[in-house]
Amino acid sequence: MRRPSGLGLYTVLLFLFLFAPIAVVVLFSFNKTAGLTFPFHGWSLRWYRAVFSSSTYRDAIVASLRVAVVTVVVVVVVGTLAGIGLTRHAFRGSGVVRALLLFPAALPGLFVGIALLSFFVQTKVTLSLWTVTVGHLVYVLPYFFLVVASRLQRFDYLLEEAARDLGAGPWTTFRRVTLPLIAPSLIAGALVVFSLSWDEVFITFFTIGAQNTLPLVIYSTVKQSVDPSVNAISTLLLAGSLVFIFSVRRLVVDLQQ
Amino acid sequence: MTAAAALGGRVGTVNVRIRRRRRLVVAGLVAPALLVVCGALLVPAVNLIVQSFLESSGYGGVVYHFTFSNYLDAVRDPTYRTVAWHSFGLGALAALICVVAGYPAAYFITFRLHPRWRNLALFLVVVSLFTSYLVRLYAWYTILGGNGIVNTALIHLGIVNHPLLFLLFSRWAVLIAFVNVFLPYSVLMLTSAMQNIRPELLENARDLGASPVRTFSRVVLPLTMTGAVGAFVYTFILTSGDYITPSLLGGTSSTSLANIVSDEFVALGDRPGGAAISCVMLLVFFAVYLALSRLERWKGI
Amino acid sequence: MTDELLSPAQRITRRELVRRSLLGGAAVGLAPSLLAALEGSAAAATTAASGTIDFFSWQGYDLLDEPVMKAFRKKNGITIHSTYVNTHNDITAKFTAGGGKGIYNLSTYEAGYGPFYVGLGIPQPLDMSKIPNFKNAHPIFRTGAIASKWWHFKGHQWAVPFTWGIQGINYQSDKIKAPTSYQDLLKPALKKKFGVTDDPVAAIVIGAHATGVFRADSLYTKAQLSKIIAFWKTLKANARLIVPSYGNMADLFASGEIVAATPGWAAVNSFAASKGDKAVKHVAPKEGSATFCDAFFIPSGSKNTDVVYAYINEAFTLEAQAQEAENLVQAAVCPGAVKLMDKATRALYPYAQITQILTKTAPLEVIPNNVPKGYATFADWNKAWEQFKA
């Protein structure tokens, strides 16, 4: 920055606005009382203890993890294959396929949710974490596909050809050449997918069975009766995801070297 | 390939075989993803569209009798129409604010910041997305409430005597929350669009004597139009299809069109009715998207 | 109304219970549980299911806080997974279009919904030999015209009523005087200081009282329904917000956003007290109020019903009934429980005149699912309420 500019000041203010609710969430997670309004009555870790000893939160975290992990694994495999198929070989109808894969991103969760719910109820599928996972799969696939396809478009195919000329089979070429090169993007994509699934509430609301995911527990708490333990769990998750992003960045940098 | 060429006359059949095998490989690569989209979205979506033409027998039941009345109800009902205006209006306003407010920040981040700081800024934008959507919504209770931060500050500073009650539980509150949640997406999309502009281009424009406003409108805007349209449509669709934010922050105007769809669908068990309204919603989204991408193309010329 | 008279031990909130169990050494760290999640979570789910109740209804009706029920759960290794509803429509929704059958094995319905729900195949017939304690309930809930109208018909017992109460106005007693009429909410002093609860049935019954068209059989013409909705729209114009749930109402009182709300629910008094706001009270205005009676039912297609039966049966012990009445600020159905209550809880409801109340002065809400031509149906009620909210 050469001189203090109006634009810079504006950007700082914008960041303050973005982080205002987050600051409030973190601050009140340390509140001594159950209130969520000022005056702030003093510091305490009671809401963190409440989170750690609450079976509701524990069950919800477990449920959310199960959904997110399965979603990530399936989407990474399926999305990478599709990315390779579509960027490498132009074929008739590839535009249509591409549009189809990106289509879910242009739909509100409400629509995906009611379409799936009505389908499950009609086909007598019992709602469970699996039905939630189905919804998440289709919701996150476009985002992963975008990340991977943009990497593959910049991919230098000569490297693969060189490997093949040296006698490597297609699988070896993929494992030893292609995969290491696109791994950082796959990890970044997986991270995006994980965070989207982890925070999803619009589709989950309709497709959930008896086991609630974390956002659903938070939703019913917010709609029913809130206390700072919700702030505490959000703060923990924020801290957790920061650590997670940082370590992934390290991993990505290492891989690139 | 060279071997195939040497074989002269047989090259055609070999090519066909290679092409066929390649087609098989591609099909195998793309099939799983297509299966996911078809099984988990297209089939249920078509099923939903079919239902929107059936008759409801109430509480989850449908009668297999073709009718157009759900659509007529959806379009004619004055309640729906009022709510639809509010939902789409609020969504469009939120989307517009996100794009307009996002531009200066994206510009600053892309062209005025040292790459090191740029990465940090973008990282912060991403981090702001990592707190639960719902938790960020109810944080506004604490900020905007009658005893909230803003009102307490205003009273302390002697600007107002009584708390401004319209701040929370109103369309304002919903709008503020929408902008807060979706602004980061706009900033990210606009930044990524601007990264395709070579900085020399801006310098050239300045050297040729173009004012900053002119540089922006003649260089930056046309080159980032795709990103802007993308950000607008994304925000518009997700905010006008939101059934949670209005119900938590909307006060006496807490109903949204998405809320009505959800109510029709689950609370009243009128699947065809809910399906019809949601299909109309989708049509509106589609129309907005088409119109804007037209606009973008026209602007491009 | 009884908050100030409750002993500290009785005012234990769920959160404090959580903390006590923590002090008792039951603390389980987050990290191990996360690891467990990635390992044998499926196995854990199946063993826990043997004693799991999946509850879907109003907050508090899972009887989590009542000491007797707590001890019973501990002794028998019963875990409860609760999902709370915001409105009664959520229950209808979950067990019809919402795919809740076979997932939840305990729920409740308000009396008026009985024939409606049975028509939709929501509850399954109860095996009354597994709920022997139901004999403790007042005869009016077991035999006779009222019982056979709402819970026992078509040759089966579909649900067992366990609590009843009235719905009027909740108010912040240290800030305003008790409202005596719904019209009091229109006073300028309350402008933008009260909430209207998103509870269509209670609202329409209350609106019928307020506009003078109330009928015990809930048969209103569409014109009368419009009049009722018009009444609520006048209130809405003066209101701060539409309150999404009764639990949320407690928060709004505690944070000082509202000083009154209607339709009310006495249980909100104790919800708010656990948030540190001990001054919320409930009052029945002079025009009349809505009377409800909630009953446990087991959804058709439920699993693990034995544990559910045992839990329901325990809920009809006199101690459980007394504790529940205190905790929810509602009326018990077992006359024997009255003497176990503290004075204030006992004084809340005129138990001696129960027959008189439920048959004459404040009959239970009726859901008009099957009405003669010309009257508003339940679907009309819901549509009208949707229109009110818009």
Partner residue opposite B143 with nearest CB, options A20, A89, A206: A20
- What pairs with residue C123 in β-bridges? C299
CATH number 1.10.3720.10 is the correct assignment for the domain at B78-298: yes
C264 is written with which tokens?
């009310």
Confidence of residue B209 (pLDDT cuts 50, 70, 90): confident
Q: Is the dihedral of CA B85, B91, B95, B96 positive or negative?
A: positive
Classify each residue of B82-102 as buried b or exposed e, where b means 16 or more C-beta atoms within 10 Å of its C-beta.
ebbebbbebbbbbbebbbebb
pLDDT in tens, B33-83: 999 999 999 999 999 999 999 988 877 778 888 999 999 988 888 889 999
**d(C-alpha B106, C-alpha A233), whole Å:** 31
B253, B270 in Cβ contact below 8 A? no
Question: Which residues, other chains included, contact C291 with Cβ-Cβ below 8 Å and sequence gap of 6+?
Answer: C164, C165, C166, C167, C357, C358, C362, C363, C364, C365
pLDDT value, residue B270:
86
pLDDT value, residue A200:
92
CB atoms under 10 Å from CB of C317, counted, come to 19
Report which residue type is found at C353. Q
pLDDT in tens, A190-239: 888 998 899 899 999 899 888 889 998 888 887 777 778 888 988 988 88
CATH among 3.40.50.300, 3.20.20.70, 3.30.70.2080, 3.40.190.10 for C14-164+293-349: 3.40.190.10
Distance from CA of B300 to the nearest CA of A (A): 22
Q: For residue B250, which residues of chain C lie inside 8 Å, CB to CB?
A: 241-242
Contacting subunits of B (3+ beta carbon pairs below 8 A): A, C
C19, A231 in Cβ contact below 8 A? no
Q: CA nearest A231 in B: which residue? A: B135
pLDDT in tens, B152-177: 889 989 888 888 888 889 999 999 99
Question: Which residues, other chains included, contact B225 with Cβ-Cβ below 8 Å and sequence gap of 6+?
Answer: B296, B299, B300
pLDDT value, residue C33:
35
Distance from CA of A50 to the nearest CA of B (A): 17
Contacting C residues, span 136-195, partner chain B, CB-CB under 8 Å: 192
Q: CA nearest A227 in C: which residue? A: C275
pLDDT value, residue C44:
36
Q: What share of chain B is helix, strand, coil (3-state, %, to 5)?
A: 80, 0, 15
Q: Which residues of chain A have pLDDT under 50?
A: 1
Distance from CA of A178 to the nearest CA of B (A): 15
The torsion of the CA quartet A30, B180, B215, A9, rounded to 10 degrees, works out to: -30
pLDDT value, residue A257:
59
**d(C-alpha B33, C-alpha B40), whole Å:** 10
Q: What is the pTM of this model?
A: 0.85
C257, C175 in Cβ contact below 8 A? no
What's the DSSP call for residue C266? T
Report which residue type is found at A243. V
Chains B, C: CB contacts within 8 A come to 74
pLDDT value, residue C196:
96
Does the beta carbon of B274 lie under 8 angstroms from any beta carbon of chain A? yes
Q: CA nearest B106 in A: which residue? A: A11
* Domain residue ranges in chain B: 2-52, 78-298
Q: Which residue has the tokens 């990497």?
A: A151
Write the DSSP string, C326-375: HHHT-EES-GGGGGGS-HHHHHHS-GGGHHHIIIIISPPP---SS--TTB
Contacting C residues, span 52-111, partner chain A, CB-CB under 8 Å: 54, 59, 79, 81, 83-84, 86, 97-100, 102-104
The C-alpha angle with vertex B277 and arms to C220 and B59, in degrees rounded to 5, equals 50
Q: For residue A245, which residues of chain B lie inside 8 Å, CB to CB?
A: 123, 126-127, 130
Does the beta carbon of A240 lie under 8 angstroms from any beta carbon of chain C? no
Q: For residue C239, which residues of chain B lie inside 8 Å, CB to CB?
A: 252
Q: CA nearest B170 in C: which residue? A: C241
Mutation target for C interface from A41, A48, A53: give the one with most C CBs within 10 A: A53
Subunit contact B135:A219, Cβ cutoff 8 A: no
**d(C-alpha A134, C-alpha A140), whole Å:** 10
**d(C-alpha C317, C-alpha C2), whole Å:** 22
B220, B106 in Cβ contact below 8 A? no
Q: CA nearest C94 in B: which residue? A: B266
**d(C-alpha A124, C-alpha C237), whole Å:** 44
Element (H, E) at C57: strand C52-57
A256 is written with which tokens?
């690139």
**d(C-alpha A201, C-alpha C290), whole Å:** 34
Does the beta carbon of B121 lie under 8 angstroms from any beta carbon of chain A? yes
What's the DSSP call for residue B36? H
Q: For residue B3, which residues of chain A lie inside 8 Å, CB to CB?
A: none
Does the beta carbon of C28 lie under 8 angstroms from any beta carbon of chain A? yes
Give the C-alpha distances (Å, rounded to integers) separating C227 from B30, C75, C183, C285, C388: 60, 53, 15, 19, 11
Q: Is the dihedral of CA C357, C358, C359, C364 positive or negative?
A: positive
Distance from CA of B177 to the nearest CA of C (A): 17
CB atoms under 10 Å from CB of B130, counted, come to 19
Q: How would CATH label the architecture of A53-227?
A: Orthogonal Bundle (1.10)
Subunit contact B48:A115, Cβ cutoff 8 A: yes
Q: CA nearest A128 in C: which residue? A: C103
Domain C166-290+365-389: give its CATH superfamily: Periplasmic binding protein-like II (3.40.190.10)
Q: What ipTM goes with this model?
A: 0.86
- Comma-separated ranges of CATH 3.40.190.10 domains in chain C: 14-164+293-349, 166-290+365-389
Strand-strand pairing, C331-332 and C160-167: antiparallel
Q: Which residues of chain C have pLDDT under 50?
A: 1-50
Q: Residue C126, exposed/middle/buried by CB under 10 A (0-12, 13-18, 19+)?
A: buried
Question: Which residues, other chains included, contact C247 with Cβ-Cβ below 8 Å and sequence gap of 6+?
Answer: A223, A224, A225, C59, C84, C271
Does the beta carbon of B58 lie under 8 angstroms from any beta carbon of chain C? yes
Q: For residue B30, which residues of chain A lie inside 8 Å, CB to CB?
A: 81-82, 85-86, 97
Confidence of residue B258 (pLDDT cuts 50, 70, 90): very high
Subunit contact B269:C241, Cβ cutoff 8 A: no
Contacting C residues, span 170-199, partner chain A, CB-CB under 8 Å: none
Does the beta carbon of A37 lie under 8 angstroms from any beta carbon of chain C? yes
Q: For residue A135, which residues of chain B lie inside 8 Å, CB to CB?
A: 40
pLDDT value, residue C287:
92
pLDDT value, residue C18:
34
Subunit contact C83:A50, Cβ cutoff 8 A: no
* Range B106-131 average pLDDT: 88
Write the DSSP string, C60-128: TTT--S-HHHHHHHHHHT-EEEEEE-SSHHHHHHHHTTT--TTT--EEEEEGGGHHHHHHTT-B----G
Mutation target for C interface from A225, A231, A236, A243: give the one with most C CBs within 10 A: A225
pLDDT value, residue B1:
44
